[in-house]
Amino acid sequence: MIRWLLLILGGALLGGIVHLATVILLPRTATQDAYARLTPVAPVNTVVALPAPTPEKAIMPFMDPAFASAICRYDLSQGPLKLSVPVSPAYTSVSFYTRNDVAYYAINDHAAGRRVIELDLMTTAQHDQLPEDEEITAADRLIVESPTTTGLIAIRALAPEPGLMRAAQAAINGSRCGTAQPEPAPTPQPPPRPRR
Q: Does residue number 30 form part of the binding site for other proteins (CB under 8 A)?
A: yes
> Which residue lies nearer to other proteins by CB, 110 or 196?
110
Q: Does residue number 193 form part of the binding site for other proteins (CB under 8 A)?
A: no
Q: Does residue number 56 form part of the binding site for other proteins (CB under 8 A)?
A: yes
Q: Does residue number 187 form part of the binding site for other proteins (CB under 8 A)?
A: no
- Say which residues have a Cβ less than 8 Å from residue 51's Cβ, sequence separation at least 6: 57, 59
For other proteins, which residue of 12, 136, 139, 185 counts as binding (CB under 8 A)? 12
Q: In what order do the strands lie in the sheet with 81-86?
A: 142-146, 116-123, 81-86, 176-179
Residue-wise over 167-196: b if at least 16 C-beta within 10 A, else e? ebbebbeebebebbeeeeeeeeeeeeeeee
Footprint of other proteins on 106-165 (CB under 8 A): 106-108, 110-111, 147, 152, 154, 156, 158-161
Beta bridge partner(s), residue 84: 118, 176
Output the CA torsion sign for 64, 68, 73, 78: negative
> Which residue lies nearer to other proteins by CB, 150 or 179?
150
User: Cβ distance 60 to 193 under 8 Å?
Assistant: no
Q: Which stretch binds other proteins (CB under 8 A): 9-17, 73-81, 137-145, 180-188?
A: 9-17
Please count the CA atoms within 13 angstroms of the CA of 82 that sit on its side-chain side: 10
Q: Which residues bind other proteins (CB under 8 A)?
A: 3-4, 7-8, 10-19, 21-24, 26-27, 30, 32-34, 36-37, 53-56, 58, 60-66, 90-91, 93, 95-97, 100-108, 110-111, 147, 152, 154, 156, 158-161
